[in-house]
Amino acid sequence: MKAQDLSFFGFFLNLYICGFNIELVKFDLVLMHPPSIYDFRKRDIVAGPISELVPSTGVFEMYPIGFLAILSYLNARGYRVRIDNIALKMLGSRKYDFNEELLKIDTNYIGIDLHWLPHVHGALNLARIIKEERPDIKVMLGGFSATYYAKEIMANFKDVDLVIRGDTTEQPMEMVLEGRRMEDVPNAIFRDNGRVRDNGFTFVPDMDYQEFDYTQIIKSSIKTMDVSGHLPYCDWMKEPVAMVLSTHGCSYSCGICGGSYFAFKNFYNRSGPIFRSSQKIVEDIMRINDDLKIPVFVAGDILMRPDRETDYIFDNLRKEGLDVPLLMEVFVPHTRERLLKLMRASPDVSMEISPDSSDDRIRFKNGRPYVNKALEKFVFDFMDLGGKKMDVYFMVGLSGQTREDVLKDVKYARHLMESNNNDKRLFVFTSPLSPFLDPGSKAFETPGMGYKLRFRTLLDHYNGLDQGRTWEDFLSYETDWMDRQTIVETTYDAIDLLLKDKEELGYIDREEYSRSHHVLESSRLAVRLSRAGDYGMLSRGEALIKDCGDKYTILKKQIMWGDPTSGEKKLIFMIYRSLHSSRK
């Protein structure tokens, strides 16, 4: 047990003494989040820069927001459900033993997310071990990737008892838990006396019935005395952020996105995106504002909504006294007028946008319908109106993109910073499209996009993670314009050049650049040696992912959002509010 867990254990002990009931219970369902690679602690793996621009590590320990929706929905209806972040527990302690924990769990069902495809190795190994140790427990899978590969999973992986398809699975899961006949559960594909039975994929509700109650995580952490099992990612206690989900799917069909309009229409039984109502969005944000007092990330571009809806959202947030930071995801540049309405709702707004390429032709080819001139005006307007932080993301591995195009992106990034007077509120990043293409995306499904797939089946992806040593081995594709080695080497070059520009422009100091450069070059050297069959550097531990404290470039720090110095105070506030509400 780590020091921070010990401190929270003491805190929970005091809660117990003061009369709060810490429960040892039988659960109806345990939601387990796997690591990307189950045995990462025992293997020498060079993850490279594949997780530099997300809050989690290369083990991808952040569980999907669907876990919170399931937890909130089922617990509110009297079921006993908890989250168990196995990936984070493995990162937190090398002594953690999943088999040992499994023997202590009292539940009828374990639900494992196979949402993002990089978790295939971890998910299937969790299922295997559960069946070896606890054949009495039923194993169900869910998520985008589980939905896409549902038939292959049930045909080839006998440790999985059922898959619940779809992007909203709370109601079918409730039917399973209450003991309904399996043939009556929509979207289920399941085993019945050795046979696989398929109920089809017919349940596609709206999303307003979903609840996203973060206090459920705090209450469950207290009741089970298990902090790490509930945390979304390693640094969440330092920099907690809550997500508000405004949509399932998207109005655009960006080539690399498995949640695009194209993917939803062709593989997830939706005619297009579905949207959470404006009223629910306001409720979700203000619940976090009032109960948790932590920053809110709004997923999905709500600025694309009609004026009457954005006016309702922003006017009501202002009237209700929003006073936590907002981070807004936007898909396209928006007008100054729209930004001004948003700024009136909150004085603390950050934004992120992903043009992916600085070449308008490449950007259009990959599904992002705007030009550099519009992007530049949007960034300028946001900064000029007093926005707190603007993140701009470019990507390596796009359709139609050459090495030279990637290096031009770096030059354009410098131009963007310089044209905004090197304003330190502007952060520009680049990262690789890795390790896998999203199944269901245009890039995965359409040969005309110019992607050459190395892995197509679920087993292909599993074997890639099982047998590979570096992120070059894991990379599931190459393109008509760059092979895998070129993608990898170009990624290292682009990140290093961008960091050097940031040093020259005063965004980072020399020490930060030197440290980041060392991390990159250690990783690059390990990949090159592995490519040549020399695994010595890997075994010495350079550039490996073993725990939460592993080495990253300064980019990891720059993507984080919020005040790390106040994270623990906010967590104590959350616990206090949870205790208060639980005694009413």
How large a percentage of the chain has pLDDT more than 70? 87
Task: Identify the pLDDT of residue 8.
Answer: 44
- Name the 3-class secondary structure at 84: strand
Specify the pLDDT at position 55: 72
Per residue in 185-223, is it b (16+ CB within 10 Å) or e — as a string?
A: bbbbbbeeeeeeeebebebbeebeebbbbbbbbbbbbbb
Q: Which of 405, 329, 334 is nearest to 365 (CA)?
A: 405
Cβ-count burial 89-128 (b if 16+ within 10 Å, e if not): bbbbeeebebeeebeebebebbbbbbbbbbbbbbbbbbbb
**Exposed, middle or buried: residue 86 (CB in 10 Å: 0-12, 13-18, 19+)?**
buried
The pLDDT, as a whole number, for residue 239 is 84
Lowest mean pLDDT: which of 25-29, 105-109, 471-475?
Answer: 25-29
The CATH topology of domain 26-211 is Rossmann fold (3.40.50)
Q: Is the pLDDT of residue 10 over 90?
A: no
Which of 69, 45, 91 shows the shortest CA–CA distance to 236?
A: 91
Token representation of residue 529? 């040696």
* C-beta separation of 499 from 411 below 8 A: no
C-alpha 116/C-alpha 114 separation (Å) is 6
pLDDT in tens, 356-366: 999 999 999 99
pTM for the full model? Answer: 0.92
Average of per-residue pLDDT across 39-55: 83
Candidates 268, 275, 254; CA nearest to 206 is 275
More confident residue, 397 or 575: 397
In 87-233, beta strands by DSSP E: 107-113, 138-142, 162-164, 188-192, 195-198
Query: Which segments of 360-401 are extended strands (E)?
Result: 389-396
User: In DSSP terms, which residues pair with 188 in a beta bridge?
Assistant: 164
Look up residue 124 and give its two tokens.
């299937």
Helix (H) or strand (E) holding 247: strand 247-248
Q: At what angle do helices 458-467 and 120-133 cross, to 10 degrees?
A: 90
Q: Which of 165, 174, 112 is nearest to 137 (CA)?
A: 112
How far, in Å, CA of 297 to CA of 519, rounded?
29
What distance in Å separates the CA atoms of residue 376 and residue 197, rounded to the nearest whole number? 53
List, for residues 200-256, the tens digit of each pLDDT value.
999 999 999 999 999 999 889 888 888 889 999 888 888 889 999 999 999 999 999
Q: Which two tokens stand for residue 5?
A: 């867990």
Strand ranges across the sheet with 27-33: 81-85, 27-33, 107-113, 138-142, 162-164, 188-192, 195-198
Average pLDDT, the chain: 89
- Provide the percentage of residues in the chain whose pLDDT is more than 90: 77
By the 8 A CB rule, do 37 and 176 touch? Answer: no
Q: Where are the domains of the chain?
A: 26-211, 241-508
User: Can you tell me the distance from the alpha carbon of 352 to that of 299, in angstroms, rounded to the nearest whole number?
Assistant: 10
- Token code pair at residue 69: 């929706």
DSSP 18: T
Question: What length is written for the chain?
Answer: 584
CB of 482 within 8 A of CB of 397? yes
Instruction: Determine the Cα–Cα distance for residues 140 and 204; give it in Å rounded to an integer.
Output: 19
110 confidence band (pLDDT: 50, 70, 90): very high
pLDDT value of residue 20: 44
- Of 3.40.640.10, 3.80.30.20, 3.40.50.720, 3.30.479.10, which CATH number belongs to 241-508? 3.80.30.20
